[in-house]
Amino acid sequence: MEYTYLGKSGLRVSRLCLGTMNFGGVTSEKDAFYIMDAAVDAGINFFDTSNNYGKGKTEEIIGRWFAQGGGRREKVVLATKVFTGVASPEEDGPNKADGLSAFKIRRNLEASLRRMQTDHIELYQMHHIDRHTSWDELWEAFDIQQYQGKILYVGSSNFGARDLVKAQYEAKLRHKFGLVSEQHIYNLMCRLPELELLPAAIEHGIGVIAYSPMGGGLLGGNARKPAENTRSFYTLSGMTQGKIDRHREQLESFSAFCKEIGESEDVVALAGILLHPGLTAPIVGPRTILQLQSSLRAVEVKLDESAIARLNEIFPGHGPGPLSYARNR
């Protein structure tokens, strides 16, 4: 496993992040335990979850895994999120709505700590921007939790480039460290972040964590299989047959390229985005041990210039703005 720094921080995390959204749903608790143990054994020290995955059940599974001992909690850089209104059973009334008020941050954080049976979280992420809550309130709320030792770093998710810049500007005014990470959709079929998001993140010391690196399953090779052999995976991920059909020629070209270089589609999909200097880690969300083991190969694959050129032909990138905008006039 390879490691890198999380944004401008001194915290080192693995180049693959274990996503846990499937835990408690399509992945049983027993299998989730096996996957987390295997991930740690493989050198993955970065785990991502959210308070609203499984309405809190995913965090509970992680907590029971930590409770087994064996240094499990100490080996993990733990990241969870706040925004959706599922914090705790006792929370009721209008403040249960989605958002990032100081009230909600405190309530959700305490609930996440209880579920995961830990006294602190390394990375606490705002799951979405909340334009009804000021940065005065946000940075003060996070500052209190950091002072109490309940969180170490603050991150974001689904923010735009302007939101990242605003967050860092407001943090600097208060002599605060600011955001250390942004979790964002990014894959070979969705390279829009290369225009503004990734350049802004690099400039402001924010590590980008990519979710949906397989394009919701399209880049994993299943799109080429007959529908009866896919185990209705696309139904599970909300994928429509129309979307598969629209991209079929592109996906078949990608599959042929992967065969030429002797690597599987899922490995190349991960290796392709790992090339970007602004990317800290893609999130891999294995449903099985075999899927986890397959993903590990991505860190070892080194694509040469001709391979990169071929990938760019199949999945044209944008490049950073504003030059890309000018070229497309």
The DSSP secondary structure of 281-323, one letter per residue, reads EEEE--SSHHHHHHHHGGGT----HHHHHHHHHHS----STTH
Phi then psi for residue 155, to 5 deg, are -130, 175
Q: How confident is the model at residue 288 (pLDDT cuts 50, 70, 90)?
A: confident
Domain residue limits, the chain: 3-327
Contacts of 112 (CB under 8 A, 6+ apart): 51, 59, 80, 82, 121
One DSSP character per residue, 251-279 reads HHHHHHHHHHHT--HHHHHHHHHHTSTTE
What is the per-residue pLDDT for 182?
A: 98
Host H or E run for residue 227: none
Question: pTM of the predicted model, to two decimals?
Answer: 0.89
pLDDT digits (tens, 9 = 90+) for 224-269: 554 444 443 444 445 556 777 788 888 899 999 999 999 999 999 9
Summarised one tens digit per residue, pLDDT across range 271-282 is: 999 999 999 999
| Average per-residue pLDDT for the chain | 89
Tokens of 31: 């299998």
Question: Looking at domain 3-327, which of 3.90.79.10, 3.40.50.1010, 3.30.70.141, 3.20.20.100 is its CATH number?
Answer: 3.20.20.100
Q: Which of 3, 5, 34, 53 is catalytic?
A: 53
**Residue 282 pLDDT:** 97
**CA 319: distance to chain centroid?**
22
Least reliable range by pLDDT among 37-46, 60-69, 293-302: 293-302
pLDDT score of 235: 47
pLDDT given for residue 247 in this prediction = 81
| Residue 234: predicted pLDDT | 42
- pLDDT tens profile 131-145: 999 999 999 999 999
Asked if 290 and 265 count as a contact pair (C-beta separation under 8 A), the reply is no
Quote the pLDDT of residue 328: 55
Instruction: Tell me if 273 sits within 8 A of 201, measured CB to CB.
Output: no
d(CA 107, CA 130): 16
List of E strands, 142-231: 151-157, 179-185, 207-211
Is residue 324 very low, low, confident or very high in pLDDT (cuts 50, 70, 90)?
Answer: low
53 labelled catalytic: yes
pLDDT number for residue 241: 67
Among 74, 71, 73, 91, which Cα is nearest to 82's? 91
